[in-house]
Amino acid sequence: MLPATRVPTMPTRAGDITRLIATDLACIRGGRIVFERLSFAVPSGSALVLTGPNGAGKSSLLRVIAGLVRPSMGTVAAEGGDAEHTLAEHCHYAGHLDPVKASLSVGENLEFWRDFLGGEPARSIDDALAAVGLGSLADLPGGYLSAGQRRRLSLARLIAVHRPIWLLDEPTAALDRSGQEMFATLCAAHLAAGGIIVAATHAPLALPGEQNLALGGAA
């Protein structure tokens, strides 16, 4: 089992986590129990889709897995992986706010993330931008991107640097039809290579073989 959280650096190879396991998880935020007694296992090559009303705890659960929020009870761990790196270091976390530096170009933004995340680059910056449909915008300042283009740039991080677990919060928000198809293609390739996806969504994602976890809670 991997230890919980540390500063990000790198894992390197597809398929190196065999299972993501949450056991008896509970999360309290703002003094309120957001979820409790939550257990699941996501094997390599599989996706877990989190659904539920506003405030149900989907983002909180993703942040717990990413090591950004401490659970009040329970554990999240992974089987397999690189023992020199924590679970968080095996994860890409793409929250619903797209982090784009306005004064850097689109290409420079992705270079920043590649360097920040570390590890062995999975693709060149140009290839990753082309794969998300931003190939012609590499020199544009990040501040000029539309909402859907910002989301595409966030998705480019997933393929510019390999990490076996993708934690995605509303990944298709703001994406047009071709963007949604592009997203489905990236996810299918990641799962086929033995990756794991946990995604929170209000829209159907139709990921191959996805399991669903419906969280409760009030809006």
Provide the binding-site residues for ligand ATP, judged by CB under 6 A.
29-30, 34, 52, 54-60, 200
Backbone angles phi, psi at 99, to 5 degrees: -80, 105
Smallest distance from ligand ATP to CB 57, Å: 4
CA 60 to CA 199: how far, in whole Å?
A: 12
Query: Tokens in use for 69?
Result: 């929020």
Q: Which is nearer to ligand ATP, 46 or 59 (CB)?
A: 59
Q: Which is nearer to ligand ATP, 85 or 151 (CB)?
A: 151
Smallest distance from ligand ATP to CB 33, Å: 10
Do 195 and 15 contact (CB within 8 A), yes or no?
A: yes
Smallest distance from ligand ATP to CB 63, Å: 7
Length of the chain equals 219
Smallest distance from ligand ATP to CB 96, Å: 7
Q: Which is nearer to ligand ATP, 16 or 170 (CB)?
A: 170
Smallest distance from ligand ATP to CB 11, Å: 26
Q: Which is nearer to ligand ATP, 54 or 103 (CB)?
A: 54
Smallest distance from ligand ATP to CB 95, Å: 10
Amino acid code (one letter) for 68: L
Q: Is the dihedral of CA 17, 19, 24, 29 positive or negative?
A: positive
If you search the block for the tokens 């004064």, which residue do you land on?
103
If you search the block for the tokens 């056991």, which residue do you land on?
23
- In angstroms and rounded to an integer, the radius of gyration of the C-alpha atoms of the chain is 17
Q: Which is nearer to ligand ATP, 67 or 81 (CB)?
A: 67
CA 158 to CA 161: how far, in whole Å?
A: 6
CA 141 to CA 101: how far, in whole Å?
A: 8
DSSP symbols for 172-194 = TTT--HHHHHHHHHHHHHHHHTT
Q: Which is nearer to ligand ATP, 60 or 149 (CB)?
A: 60
